[in-house]
């Protein structure tokens, strides 16, 4: 889809150039803490860190994540240099909205990746107070851990900080268009606060921080019942149920395959860049096109029905990723047909193993248009 907005300003270009000078560092991490590590993105991130030889402590309360996302890591990534049976993966069940939640986490860490948060509309609308608490108290506890340990800290923020954007594509210097009291504000404003707190710790406390703004992400291990666009469409198609599209389907999203996102998060962690940095695909699709592609990939004969658009649902969403490309050498490389094929195959295999189509066709499940963010 053609870009009809104003081009990047010279001030953006100069600020991006200045920030890119921070990015030359390449680091070797020994021990990482991943909050929200049993979520969709978190599980993939834990796996990638282990593959790099990093010891990983995964912290999760399983309110939206699942132990199943990391069950294969518990005994599959053993360190040959340690006594037999001593894994490099450690799973800690803790609720970051409770004070002292990270007291049991070792302080010999050099990387803290803070992903903990409900990320789908179904999750954060059903737990609004907890969503704000994990964005505030949870982020502060994760920052305090990084500060005490002298560790690099990375906040997984979201494109939802841009709200329903008046600028397209969205650049990091765009302040956004967010309804502070709308139903989505618990997530949008929570993440905006988390960014402000992260920035304050960097300036006032000298904490080594980075902010990633994550755009729509999809792939294997997404929850089938969390109401987000792609898993909802896939589940409905496989169940032979109508695909429910919000509005007229003309709103757009840019969807990034999870492996690409994880590479971007690790590239940002490896750098000295403070961010914020947009991470997402530059391929922009209408929601109606995504629904049609899901029907084609699944071979489903399901129909498409249109439902009311959720309040404050963004009309267009695509990141300007020039900073990630220039400063980190990163871009999304998995094309949409390939990523969708892998995702549908995973859902087919999973459903074949369980014999169930849990969550398909639930009222509102496919109101696709919402659901940027981490995809816990």
Give the pairing of strands 252-254 and 284-286: antiparallel
pTM above 0.75, yes or no: yes
Integer CA distances (angstroms), 299 to 292, 295, 302, 348, in order: 10, 6, 9, 12
Integer CA distances (angstroms), 354 to 202, 347, 348, 350, 357, in order: 47, 11, 10, 6, 8
Q: At a CB cut-off of 8 Å and minimum separation 6, what does 283 contact?
A: 254, 255, 332, 335, 336
Considering only CA atoms, which of 15, 35, 52, 113 is closest in space to residue 326? 15
Of 187, 201, 218, 257, which is the active-site residue?
A: 187
Written as one string, the DSSP assignment of 120-145 is: SHHHHHHSHHHHHHIIIIIHHHHHHH
pLDDT at 15 (0 to 100): 44
pLDDT at 273 (0 to 100): 97
Rg, the chain, Cα only: 20
pLDDT at 255 (0 to 100): 94
List of domains in the chain: 25-354 (3.40.50.720)
- Report d(CA 158, CA 287) in Å as an integer: 19
pLDDT tens-digit profile, the chain (376 residues): 434 333 333 334 334 433 444 555 678 999 999 999 999 999 999 999 999 999 999 999 998 888 888 988 875 444 444 443 347 899 999 999 999 999 989 889 999 999 999 887 778 777 889 999 999 999 999 999 999 999 999 999 999 999 888 888 989 999 988 889 988 888 899 999 999 999 999 999 999 999 999 999 999 999 888 778 899 999 999 999 999 998 889 988 899 999 999 999 999 999 999 999 999 999 999 999 999 999 999 999 999 999 887 776 777 889 999 999 999 999 999 999 999 999 999 999 988 876 554 433 333 333 443 343 443 3
SS3 293: helix
Q: Is 201 a catalytic residue?
A: no
- Report d(CA 85, CA 75) in Å as an integer: 8
């Amino acid at each position: 889809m053609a870009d009809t907005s104003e081009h990047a300003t010279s001030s953006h270009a100069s600020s991006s150039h200045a920030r890119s000078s921070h990015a030359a560092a390449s680091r070797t991490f020994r021990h990482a803490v991943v909050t929200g590590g049993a979520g969709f993105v978190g599980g993939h991130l834990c796996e990638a860190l282990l593959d790099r030889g990093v010891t990983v402590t995964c912290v999760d309360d399983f309110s939206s994540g699942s132990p199943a996302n990391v069950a294969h890591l518990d005994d599959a990534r053993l360190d040959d240099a340690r006594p037999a049976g001593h894994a490099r993966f450690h799973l800690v069940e803790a609720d970051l909205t409770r004070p002292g939640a990270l007291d049991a986490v070792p302080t010999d860490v050099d990387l803290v990746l803070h992903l903990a948060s409900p990320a789908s509309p179904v999750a954060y609308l059903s737990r609004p107070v907890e969503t704000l608490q994990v964005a505030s108290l949870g982020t502060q506890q994760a920052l305090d851990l990084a500060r005490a340990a002298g560790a690099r800290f990375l906040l997984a923020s979201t494109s939802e900080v841009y709200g329903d954007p008046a600028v397209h594509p969205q650049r990091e210097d765009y302040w956004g268009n967010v309804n502070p009291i709308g139903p989505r504000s618990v997530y949008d404003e929570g993440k905006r606060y988390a960014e402000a707190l992260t920035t304050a710790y960097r300036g006032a406390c000298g904490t080594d921080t980075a902010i990633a703004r994550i755009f729509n992400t999809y792939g294997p291990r997404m929850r089938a019942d969390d109401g987000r666009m792609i898993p909802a469409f896939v589940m409905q198609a496989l169940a032979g149920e109508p695909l429910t599209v919000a509005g007229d389907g003309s709103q757009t999203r840019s969807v990034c395959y999870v492996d690409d996102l994880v590479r971007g998060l690790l590239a940002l962690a490896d750098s000295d860049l403070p961010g914020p940095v947009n991470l997402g695909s530059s391929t922009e699709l209408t929601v109606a096109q995504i629904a049609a592609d899901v029907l084609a990939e699944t071979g489903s004969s399901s129909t498409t029905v249109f439902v009311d658009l959720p309040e404050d649902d963004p009309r267009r969403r695509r990141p300007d990723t020039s900073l990630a490309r220039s400063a980190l050498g990163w871009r999304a490389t998995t094309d949409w047909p390939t990523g969708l094929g892998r995702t549908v195959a995973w859902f087919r295999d999973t459903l074949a193993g369980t014999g169930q189509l849990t969550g398909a066709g639930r009222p509102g499940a496919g109101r696709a248009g919402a659901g940027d963010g981490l995809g816990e």
